[in-house]
Chain A
């Protein structure tokens, strides 16, 4: 089955700096890669996603890049703000049923 590795597990940045989180996946059949933000006591909230036919996608301060050959994808947050502090999860789908396999999460702390 699919295996998703996520790094780093924790990330501390100064407000205004950029944050980058990287994930690798194992199943070459995966074609959908979402990123979720989870705040304490809440369910994961989708922040951006990318399909395998696209190499990069951007939404305001958030961007995701995908390298299908190397089987890795990354989340980039620019101009970080204190409200970006949360746990971020990457995920990859399995084509049959579209169930998601999640990475272990990255705890991001944005220091004011």
Chain B
């Protein structure tokens, strides 16, 4: 499978614990995005990377959230001191560096997401 992969698929944690999610983008995609989706809503942008550089962070990304993409390949999203309001689906997407007749560099391909439940 050459799509975007995310691990774990599900995470249940207690309030106050730290959690970390991993995203592996499609090979050679240089842009990587994190979104959050709550039940019944569309995804909301959190942050994005171009290669290893984090270029933008949403106001939704409080100080408890941190994302990294150390080698410009996979990325991790960590939430410290989780709160019940953090319960959501966390989605990762990647975009190609080079356009082809079939693919635009604007196109974002999403992974299956990590569903976080904070008790």
Binding site for B on A (CB under 8 A): 4, 6, 32, 34, 36, 41-46, 49, 51, 89, 91, 93, 96-105
Contact = CB atoms under 8 A, between A and B. Distances in A.
Query: What are the 8 tightest A-B residue pairs by CB atom distance, in nearest-first order?
Result: A102-B42, A43-B110, A32-B106, A99-B45, A43-B112, A44-B110, A43-B113, A89-B42
Contact of A46 (B40, B48, B107): B107
A46 B55 contact: no
Contact of B43 (A49, A96, A102): A102
Contacts of B104: 32, 49, 51
Contact of B48 (A91, A97, A104): A97
A99 B109 contact: no
B110 A36 contact: yes
Contact of A103 (B42, B45, B56): B42
A34 B107 contact: yes
Interface in B78-108: 91, 95, 104-108
B28 interface: no
Interface of B: 4, 6, 31, 33, 35, 40-45, 48, 50, 55-56, 91, 95, 104-113
Contacts of A6: 42
Given A36-B110, A43-B112, A49-B107, A97 B42 contact: no
A44 B3 CA distance: 12
Given A34-B106, A97-B55, A100-B33, 11 more contacts: A43-B91, A46-B109, A91-B42, A97-B50, A97-B56, A98-B95, A98-B105, A99-B45, A99-B56, A100-B108, A104-B42
Given A43-B113, A98-B95, A99-B56, A34 B41 contact: no
Contacts of B44: 102
Contact of B45 (A36, A42, A101): A101
A99 B109 CA distance: 12
A49 B102 CA distance: 12
A44 B43 contact: yes
A49 to B, nearest CB: 7
Contacts of B50: 97
